[in-house]
């Protein structure tokens, strides 16, 4: 094989067009074939007006040819690693400047407006179905809190029925040995997600439930969830809850101090 550095420019261009552009070889692969170095090939490619692959495209090309292995594919992350990644993503999102956050919201609305009426209707129906299921089997945040409570050794009644006399109202999470009721309130308890009438009705139910729970001498902890659920956010909310539970365990509050609000 000829030494690349001794070739004419026309021959160098032919080699790069064939090896880099057509055969999709990397500069490193070509350099090993022609006794030269990668940066020399890159500079010549630019000089000859050839299109240079981006870093992302180069990585995809290497993966497709089996030259490189995917850094995460097939790798099972630990819970600690997942939580660390989730917290990082959540922190970056929350630290976005207001103008950037609004820009992303506008883009999301623009994407929504581009959808067909049938697609929008299907998505809304799916969301409504998910809400109905969550009301029966529990939301993701409720299940997250339940799992953590059980892991910490608490005796738990989930969606406790027939606790509030003469009503069909359930307590989301009840700790019978501690006389503590925990309510997990999603966005529809604070915002007109399903319309003003639905919000008014939810607030009325919440106020009635609050009065019945406190009237039975129980402690009531309401956890406010406005943002979408993620395991990292769920863990942060549970940490808040656990702090309050430890305070109550040390000293059960008097009648006037049995209502707590946690959350975002």
With 70 as the cut, is the pLDDT of residue 216 above it? yes
The whole-number pLDDT of residue 258 equals 95
Please report which confidence band the pLDDT of residue 50 belongs to, taking 50, 70 and 90 as the band edges: very high
Which two three-digit tokens encode residue 199? 């919000």
Residue 201's H or E segment, with its range, is: helix 196-215
pTM as predicted? 0.55
Give which of 226, 212, 131, 236 is closest to 184, Cα–Cα. Answer: 226
The residues pairing with 219 across neighbouring beta strands, listed in sequence order, are: 180
Please report which confidence band the pLDDT of residue 128 belongs to, taking 50, 70 and 90 as the band edges: low
Please report which confidence band the pLDDT of residue 46 belongs to, taking 50, 70 and 90 as the band edges: very high
Q: Which residue has the tokens 């998910």?
A: 130
CA 33-44-42 angle, 5° bins: 70
| pLDDT tens readout for residues 142-156 | 989 999 999 999 999
d(CA 141, CA 230): 8
Q: Would you kindly state where each structural domain of the chain is located, as residue ranges?
A: 4-64, 79-133, 138-263
d(CA 55, CA 242): 45
The residues pairing with 182 across neighbouring beta strands, listed in sequence order, are: 173, 221
The whole-number pLDDT of residue 63 equals 73
d(CA 239, CA 148): 10
| Residue 24 Rama label (left phi>0; alpha psi -120 to 50; beta) | left
The whole-number pLDDT of residue 108 equals 80
With 80 as the cut, is the pLDDT of residue 74 above it? no
d(CA 181, CA 240): 15
The whole-number pLDDT of residue 174 equals 93
d(CA 165, CA 123): 38
Q: Which residue has the tokens 């030259």?
A: 67
With 60 as the cut, is the pLDDT of residue 105 above it? yes
The whole-number pLDDT of residue 18 equals 92
The whole-number pLDDT of residue 88 equals 67
What is the assigned CATH class of domain 138-263? alpha beta
With 80 as the cut, is the pLDDT of residue 182 above it? yes
With 60 as the cut, is the pLDDT of residue 97 above it? yes
The stretch 244-257 carries a mean pLDDT of: 94
Do 142 and 184 contact (CB within 8 A), yes or no?
yes
* Residue of higher predicted confidence among 55 and 146: 146
The whole-number pLDDT of residue 135 equals 52
Which two three-digit tokens encode residue 136? 């029966």
Write out 167-195 in H/E/C secondary structure. CCCCEEEEECCCCEEEEEECHHHCCCCCC
d(CA 120, CA 127): 11
Which two three-digit tokens encode residue 217? 């001498």
């Amino acid at each position: 094989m000829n030494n690349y550095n001794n070739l004419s420019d026309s021959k160098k261009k032919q080699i790069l067009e064939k090896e880099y552009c057509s055969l999709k070889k990397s500069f490193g692969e070509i350099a090993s074939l022609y006794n030269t170095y990668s940066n020399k090939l890159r500079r010549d490619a630019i000089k000859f007006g050839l299109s240079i692959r981006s870093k992302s495209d180069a990585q995809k090309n290497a993966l497709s040819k089996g030259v490189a292995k995917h850094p995460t594919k097939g790798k099972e992350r630990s819970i600690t690693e997942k939580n660390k990644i989730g917290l990082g993503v959540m922190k970056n999102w929350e630290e976005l400047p207001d103008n950037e956050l609004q820009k992303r919201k506008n883009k999301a609305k623009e994407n929504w407006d581009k959808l067909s009426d049938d697609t929008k209707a299907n998505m809304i129906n799916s969301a409504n179905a998910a809400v109905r299921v969550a009301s029966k089997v529990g939301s993701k945040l409720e299940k997250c809190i339940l799992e953590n409570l059980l892991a910490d050794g608490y005796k738990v009644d989930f969606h406790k029925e027939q606790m509030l006399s003469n009503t069909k109202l359930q307590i989301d999470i009840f700790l019978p040995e501690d006389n503590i009721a925990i309510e997990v309130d999603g966005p529809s308890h604070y915002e007109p997600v399903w319309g003003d009438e639905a919000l008014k009705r939810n607030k009325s139910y919440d106020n009635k439930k609050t009065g019945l729970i406190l009237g039975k001498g129980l402690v009531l902890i309401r956890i406010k969830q406005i943002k979408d659920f993620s395991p990292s956010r769920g863990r942060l909310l549970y940490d808040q809850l656990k702090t309050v539970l430890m305070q109550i365990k040390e000293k059960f509050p008097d009648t006037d101090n049995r209502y707590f609000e946690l959350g975002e």
